[in-house]
Amino acid sequence: MNLAPYLLLATLEGLVQASVFALTALGLSLVFGVMRVVNVAHGEFFTLGAVGAWLCAMLLPGHPAISFAAALVAAPLAVGALAWAADRLILKRIDYDPEATIVSTIGLMYVIQQVVLMTFGPDARAVDAPFWYTIRFPWFGWSGYKVFIIVVAVALVGGLWLAMRHTRFGLIMRATQYDRETAQNFGIPVDRVYAAVFALGAMFAAVAGVLVVPNSQAHYLMGHDPLLMSFVVVIVGGLGSLPGTVAAAVLIGMADGWLSVFFSPTLAKIFSTLLVALVLVFRPAGLFGKAVRA
């Protein structure tokens, strides 16, 4: 058997995976980096993005590209607003206590997931891709839409990177991340920065959700895997480090693609969960990270 076509396909699929992981994980990493809290409901923001894309496709008949473009804007905004409200109503009140945040975001995860179950229903639903274009390889055809996923992911990750480096808001975020109290003393409204960062993190997950729907399907439990993989990516890449997160997303997305050619997906997941646990135990700063300021 000639393995080359399989490996090429695995590489391409791995790149798509890596793009989705990078977007989702960057949201989680941003929130952890700046606010030092773990958002377990992150996967549900991903689901809400996907459901938003489906809703737009239902409400806006006509060419799928129109509803898709609308979803790409509206879904992240709606999810961002929800996350902002969650920050104000829950996280702020428990003063961002790390353990209480995990417990309450587990609660938020169940609330969102079950509300989606009650309204959207238990079935998986498909959404048409905004365009159809097939790239022909000698062995197989590959959907051009997947290239679009990669392009959008690269653009957004690059955009976030530039924004963190070169804008005033990026500077404020980095200052808050570096030292919350000093930032506050210099007049930075830390409260509002937190709310904005939490919303921004959720929006990244929502964009990933919108992008994924035409490729897979929307389902009320679809947030589980992205949440797990985001944990893997963020922790292997070093908690709170954006370049590390991107590097880990590419590495793990590709590894996932290749490994699932040879192993069952469940076995691959067992490996990655154990990897996360062992990295946290033995290399808490991540495989690529430097020691984090306490």
Q: Which is nearer to another protein, 1 or 89 (CB)?
A: 89
Task: Give the footprint of another protein on this chain (CB under 8 A).
Answer: 37-38, 90, 93-94, 98-100, 102-104, 106-115, 117-118, 122, 228, 231, 235, 264, 266-267, 269-270, 273-274, 276-278, 280-282, 284
Q: What angle do CA 235, 215, 210 make, to 5 degrees?
A: 65
122 with 51: CB under 8 angstroms?
Answer: no
Burial label for 34, CB within 10 Å (0-12, 13-18, 19+), is buried
Closest CA to 83 of 164, 184, 224, 203: 203
Q: Which is nearer to another protein, 235 or 259 (CB)?
A: 235
- CB 92 to another protein: min, Å: 11
- CB 162 to another protein: min, Å: 29
- CB 149 to another protein: min, Å: 27
Q: Which residues contact 81 (CB under 8 A, 6 or more apart)?
A: 199
What is the sign, positive or negative, of the torsion defined by CA atoms of 81, 211, 204, 228?
positive
Strand partners, 142: 135
Q: Which is nearer to another protein, 130 or 201 (CB)?
A: 201
Q: Which residue's structure tokens are 């737009």?
A: 56
Q: Which is nearer to another protein, 77 or 274 (CB)?
A: 274
Q: Which is nearer to another protein, 65 or 274 (CB)?
A: 274
24 with 204: CB under 8 angstroms?
Answer: yes
- CB 83 to another protein: min, Å: 14
- CB 104 to another protein: min, Å: 4
